[in-house]
Amino acid sequence: MRIHKISGLNCPEAGAVAISWAEGCETPARNFAREHRLPIINELPGWRGLCFCLQAGGWVLKDLSGEIQTPFSLRFEARHGSRGKDPLLNAMGKAQAVLDLTAGWGGDALHIALSGRRVVSVERNPVVYQLLVQAREQLGDADLAGRLTFLHLDAAGKDFSQQLNQCLNSGDAFELVYLDPMFSDRVLKSAKAKKPMYLMQRLTDTPSDTNERHLFENAMAIAQKRVVVKRGLKAPYITDSQPQGSIKSKLLRFDLYNPL
């Protein structure tokens, strides 16, 4: 079996992001800022928060507070190896086409794709999405990259199903829809040791119950056979209704729901 690893480093204290660029990259960086209504660093004198910077080698995140010196850049690494028990893949069952509604740094999507399944993974944060697309483009494995699609959409939106169909342009059907909307307390407490996750928390909105409810409703409406929700081992269910089953590991639980 193959395993993956994501490497990166940064630890910002500010939630907001300003855009900057290196020489020769101004036009695409300005276009990105305009498209996503993000401030340009020159407009924020004395800015000491996160900076999303376009350089010749691609986008990187920098922490201008100086606390963390190394810029963060997402990398997907695909390797062969043994992982022993694999609750995430067990929860996927026989599904060959998976829709992941909460991409994050793409670790789960990549792991599912490494098992040979096709994954469409949705992310609403434009900075996170841009880094996902870049990491996919830099993958050395064309087959693997071909099984991974990232989309920039709000998966909790009312019109999400229609938007999804327009993006995929094929009325693709998904046997299984996967959700991982939450940050566990454990991740929060060990923030310094898990810099990519800590950075994600600084970049993305605080998880809300309404967002989770709408994500779950959309997942149940789209999935043909199963919805899988990743939770902390002792976290409450995402909804009032009980799942049909759960697959557990030491720290995590994958709740399984059958759409009606």
Ligand X SMILES: C[S@@+](CC[C@H](N)C(=O)[O-])C[C@H]1O[C@@H](n2cnc3c(N)ncnc32)[C@H](O)[C@@H]1O
Chain residues in the site for ligand X (CB under 6 A): 101-102, 104-108, 122-125, 128, 154-156, 180-181, 183, 200, 204, 211, 215
Closest CA to 223 of 87, 91, 88: 91
Rounded least distance, CB 103 to ligand X, Å: 6
Q: Between residues 97 and 182, which has the closer beta carbon with respect to ligand X?
A: 182
Backbone φ and ψ of 162, nearest 5°:
-65, -45
Rounded least distance, CB 56 to ligand X, Å: 27
Rounded least distance, CB 203 to ligand X, Å: 8
Angle between helices 126-137 and 26-36 (to 10 degrees): 140
Q: Between residues 71 and 196, which has the closer beta carbon with respect to ligand X?
A: 196
Q: 231-241 burial, b if ≥16 CB within 10 A, otherwise e?
A: beeeeeebbee
Q: Between residues 21 and 107, which has the closer beta carbon with respect to ligand X?
A: 107
DSSP string covering 211-249 = HHHHHHHHHHHH-SSEEEEEEETTPPPSSSSPPSEEEE-
Q: Between residues 180 and 255, which has the closer beta carbon with respect to ligand X?
A: 180
Q: Between residues 19 and 122, which has the closer beta carbon with respect to ligand X?
A: 122
Q: Between residues 107 and 243, which has the closer beta carbon with respect to ligand X?
A: 107
Which residue is closest to ligand X by CB? Answer: 104
Rounded least distance, CB 30 to ligand X, Å: 24
C-beta separation of 97 from 173 below 8 A: yes
Closest CA to 99 of 224, 192, 190, 2: 224
Rounded least distance, CB 6 to ligand X, Å: 8
Q: How many residues does this entry show for the chain?
A: 260
Rounded least distance, CB 187 to ligand X, Å: 8
